Amino acid sequence: LSEKLDKALHVLKGHGSITEVNVAETLKEVRRALLDADVNFKIAKEFTNTVKEKALGQNVLTTLQPGQLMVKLVKDELTELMGGDAEGINLSGNPSIILMSGLQGSGKTTFSGKLANFLKTKKAKKPLLVACDVYRPAAINQLHVVGDQIGVEVFSDEGNKNPVQIAQNAIAHAKQNGHNVVIIDTAGRLAVDEEMMNEISNVYKAVDPQETLFVVDAMTGQDAVNTAKAFNDRLNFDGVVLTKLDGDTRGGAAISIKSVVNKPIKFIGTGEKMDAIDVFYPNRMADRILGMGDVVSLVERAQEQYDEEEARKIQKKIAKNQFGFDDFLSQIQQIKKMGSMKDLVGMIPGAGKALKDVDIDDDSFKHIEAMIHSMTIEERTNPSVINASRKKRIGKGSGTSVQEVNQLLKQFNQMSKMMKMMQGGGGKKMMQMMGK
Ligand code: GDP
Ligand code: MG
């Protein structure tokens, strides 16, 4: 989607003057891009009409930078369409009960774990996970594995085939044991059917949740909208969780679902790991769809993960010209902590496209780590001693080639140079920012 829109908006970006024909052409491209992303035809048409009206209303053609204004209009309208401001989840109950709904494979169990982890680590809650998938013993086991991973208790009752009873027993258990959030993971089916709907609405009625979340696979496109509608008709859910937004995903689902069921998208899932969860921000999503990059979340994530102590230590070393390979390694480890590289790179404006085909997986770090580990302490602190025979030894020791060692040395030199530059100029501010 973003590439197509990029192209469409490219016509206008930077254009000194545009004509009405130009606006119409661009909006046609925008509409096509939305359709390609599985946005419903009617919604796409309404969208471009609204933008056109607003553009004419604001006299786009007579402003100094019509291209920029058009981009802003498209962006604002997209943001509006996806829900305006970010909405949180209701945690006012004691315990607060959160019910998961959705088709099989949409990511309910994974997301239940992610949410429990999020509430535990970011909101200091004591969640209880409840396994209400009574059909597949493997599903109960899956939730236990997830719970163990994040250190959250899982309530299950394998002999019991009655999800309403399990949910009620779990809530009683939560009250007795001081859990303030209860997350109920339910069974899904491959397609919407009466039995599943009855079952989940029975649980819904029995536990009266503060928050019912509908979990949907963002990759299912137009189908996602139909499923959302079916679940909303029965459960009147409170919010949507859009999973699998990490792959080659169509952002279109976010737009369509919101406009069809008019419920906020509250979270997104961006991977299989337990920390691959983000609060949904419509304006950031609009930026991402438009290829402007999600700089705000990049900065936020960097701030969260960057170890302040480490930053200060490195700063001192750079000042004293003592930056060596051990520091280089710890820098890399810091970067790794921030999340998968592909994720991060995708958030940098323009980079997502430029680096789309370049493989920046975490594996390339393993090689770098191996090479540094194969260096002597002297080589690490004073890399200038690394001559040809040392390079050969390092290559052998780490299972890499001399070429790769050379590449690493080059990267190291570039990084040290950059760090010195940052130290000198406005870079101090940047280091401080990262340190926070
Ligand atoms: P459920 O049947 O609704 O409980 O779905 P699961 O939680 O078992 O997830 C189904 C599959 O999707 C599993 O293989 C998960 O690892 C995977 N999955 C879930 N969420 C995400 C996500 O955000 N990104 C990716 N890439 N995979 C996901
Ligand atoms: Mg499941």
Q: Is 334 annotated as a binding residue?
A: no
Judged on CB neighbours under 10 Å (0-12, 13-18, 19+), 206 is middle
Pick from 220-234, 252-266, 282-296: least confident: 282-296
Q: Is 157 annotated as a binding residue?
A: no
**More confident: 300 or 28:** 28
Give yes or no for residue 185 having a pLDDT over 60.
Answer: yes
- Residue range 199-204: mean pLDDT, rounded: 94
Q: String of b and e for 350-374 (b: at least 16 CB within 10 Å)? A: eebeeeeeeeeeeeebebbeebbeb
Indicate the residue type of 427. Answer: G
Give the Å distance between the CA of 145 and the centre of ligand 2. Answer: 12
Q: Is 256 annotated as a binding residue?
A: no
3-state helix, strand, coil in the chain (%, to 5): 60, 10, 30
The mean pLDDT value of the chain amounts to 80
> How crowded is residue 428: how many other Cβ atoms within 10 Å of its Cβ?
12
What's the pLDDT at 342? Answer: 57
Pick from 71-75, 144-148, 394-398: least confident: 71-75
- Model pLDDT for residues 266-314, shown as the tens digit of each residue: 999 999 999 999 999 888 777 766 654 444 444 445 445 555 666 677 7
| CA torsion through residues 283, 264, 223, 113, sign | positive
What's the pLDDT at 53? Answer: 84
Using DSSP's 3-state secondary structure scheme, residue 409 falls into helix
Q: pLDDT category, 348, cuts 50, 70, 90?
A: low
Give yes or no for residue 219 having a pLDDT over 90.
Answer: no
What's the pLDDT at 21? Answer: 59
**More confident: 16 or 404:** 404
What's the pLDDT at 315? Answer: 74
Beta strands in 244-298 (DSSP E): 265-269, 277-279
Give yes or no for residue 147 having a pLDDT over 50.
Answer: yes
Q: Which residue has the tokens 């209860």?
A: 182
- Model pLDDT for residues 398-413, shown as the tens digit of each residue: 999 999 999 999 888 8
Using DSSP's 3-state secondary structure scheme, residue 35 falls into helix
Domains with residue ranges and CATH for the chain? 2-82 (1.20.120.140), 96-290 (3.40.50.300), 299-435 (1.10.260.30)
Give yes or no for residue 8 having a pLDDT over 60.
Answer: no
Pick from 26-40, 185-199, 263-277, 326-340: least confident: 326-340
Ligand 1 atom with minimal separation from the 276 CA: 23
Three-class DSSP labels, 147-179: HHHHCCCEECCCCCCCHHHHHHHHHHHHHHCCC
Pocket of ligand 1 (CB under 6 A): 102, 104-110, 188, 243-244, 246-247, 269-272, 276
Ligand 1 atom with minimal separation from the 112 CA: 7
Give yes or no for residue 5 having a pLDDT over 70.
Answer: no
Pick from 24-38, 148-162, 188-202, 216-230: least confident: 24-38
- Tell me if 218 sits within 8 A of 258, measured CB to CB: no
Nearest ligand, measured from the Cα of 133: 2
What is the chain's alpha carbon radius of gyration, rounded to the nearest angstrom? 26
Give yes or no for residue 430 having a pLDDT over 70.
Answer: no
Give the Å distance between the CA of 231 and the centre of ligand 2. Answer: 17
- Residue range 27-47: mean pLDDT, rounded: 77
Beta strands in 329-405 (DSSP E): none
Please list the residues that pair with 183 across neighbouring strands.
98, 129
> How crowded is residue 342: how many other Cβ atoms within 10 Å of its Cβ?
18
Pick from 116-120, 178-182, 217-221: least confident: 217-221
* Cα separation values, 380 from 199, 212, 322, 323, Å: 62, 54, 11, 9
**More confident: 85 or 277:** 277
